[in-house]
């Protein structure tokens, strides 16, 4: 201002001149997020699909997608390591819970960022999740139509809540004690699959938010949330057939095997 730097608190007076740097100068000032070699290797190892327009990651349980209270490490802070020779930093197009593992889609340019974000928001992209549950639904397949609303830090089923629909299929069971479920959300409410399966009496293993530790005491399973975003269909948005799958985490496979459950890909 008037040839000198201006403070954010400075008040302008009549006749004073204020210069705003061109956008390219502002970009030059912005520093690239620093990603350590260890973290760069880690996030690159998550890549399960890549082309000129998108990158798909297999995110581990426990790693948040974006920063928040107490989050020092998250996918958003690692995206500079995924440029793969492009100038643009990849962009997030949707989110999955911190404790949910599996597929996360990034856009490598503005065009696909807008298209994918819109498609996810309008629920036009089919996603399939796998859940290892304590307890089993009475019906082996169907749709869960249970409206949801937020109550504190949890979501609850209420008759006048927001519309929420999940289709599901029980893939295998151990009596009525444990089961492996395939679920696809047809709407996009927070914690939707977790709440809906609990509503049917099938608590997702490790989900102490919607079940108590006592619910999982007799099951000698990993403490991780056993909900995995397994398969995603991107063909409609991408203009070519793209169906991406993400392998199950080691602890998930170990616990399925220890219970005598079988997962057969279809």
Q: Could you check whether 23-121 and 127-259 share the same CATH topology? A: yes
Residue 257 is a catalytic residue: no
Instruction: Tell me the domain boundaries of the chain.
Output: 23-121, 127-259
Q: Which of 179, 60, 54 is nearest to 120 (CA)?
A: 54
Contact 235, 242 (CB under 8 A): yes
Class of 23-121 in CATH: alpha beta
Q: Tokens representing 255?
A: 């616990």
Low-confidence ranges of the chain (pLDDT < 70): 1-13, 15, 18-19, 21-33, 69-71, 218, 266
Rounded Cα distance between 249 and 58, Å, is 9
- Give the pLDDT score at 34: 79
User: 158: which DSSP letter?
Assistant: -
CA angle 187, 59, 189 (to 5 degrees): 15
- Give the pLDDT score at 239: 86
Domain 127-259 carries which CATH code?
3.30.2350.10
Question: Across the strands, what pairs with 96?
Answer: none
Annotated catalytic residue, options 39, 97, 220, 255: 97
- Give the pLDDT score at 26: 43
Cβ neighbours of 250 (radius 10 Å): 9
- Give the pLDDT score at 25: 45
> What counts of helices (H) and strands (E) characterise the chain?
6, 13
pTM: 0.85
């Amino acid at each position: 201002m008037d040839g000198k730097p201006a403070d954010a608190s400075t008040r302008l007076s009549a006749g004073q001149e204020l210069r705003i740097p061109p956008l390219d100068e502002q970009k030059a000032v912005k520093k690239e997020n620093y990603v350590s070699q260890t973290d760069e290797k880690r996030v690159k190892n998550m890549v399960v699909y890549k082309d000129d327009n998108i990158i798909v990651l297999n995110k581990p349980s426990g790693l948040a997608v974006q920063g928040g209270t107490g989050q020092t490490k998250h996918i958003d802070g690692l995206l500079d390591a995924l440029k793969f020779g492009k100038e643009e930093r990849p962009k997030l197009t949707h989110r999955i819970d911190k404790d949910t593992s599996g597929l996360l889609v990034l856009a490598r340019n503005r065009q696909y960022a807008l298209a994918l974000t819109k498609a996810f928001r309008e629920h036009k992209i089919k996603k399939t999740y796998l859940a290892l549950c304590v307890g089993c639904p009475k019906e082996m397949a169907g749709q869960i139509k249970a409206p949801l609303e937020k109550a504190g830090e949890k979501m609850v089923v209420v008759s006048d809540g927001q519309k929420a629909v999940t289709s599901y299929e029980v893939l295998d069971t151990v009596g009525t004690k444990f089961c492996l479920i395939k679920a696809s959300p047809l709407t996009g409410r927070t914690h939707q699959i977790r709440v809906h399966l609990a509503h049917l009496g099938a608590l997702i293993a490790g989900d102490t938010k919607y079940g108590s530790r006592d619910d999982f005491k007799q099951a000698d399973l990993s403490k991780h949330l056993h909900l995995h975003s397994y398969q995603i269909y991107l063909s409609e948005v991408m203009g070519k057939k793209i169906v991406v799958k993400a392998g199950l985490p080691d602890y998930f496979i170990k616990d399925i095997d220890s219970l005598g459950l079988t997962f057969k890909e279809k």
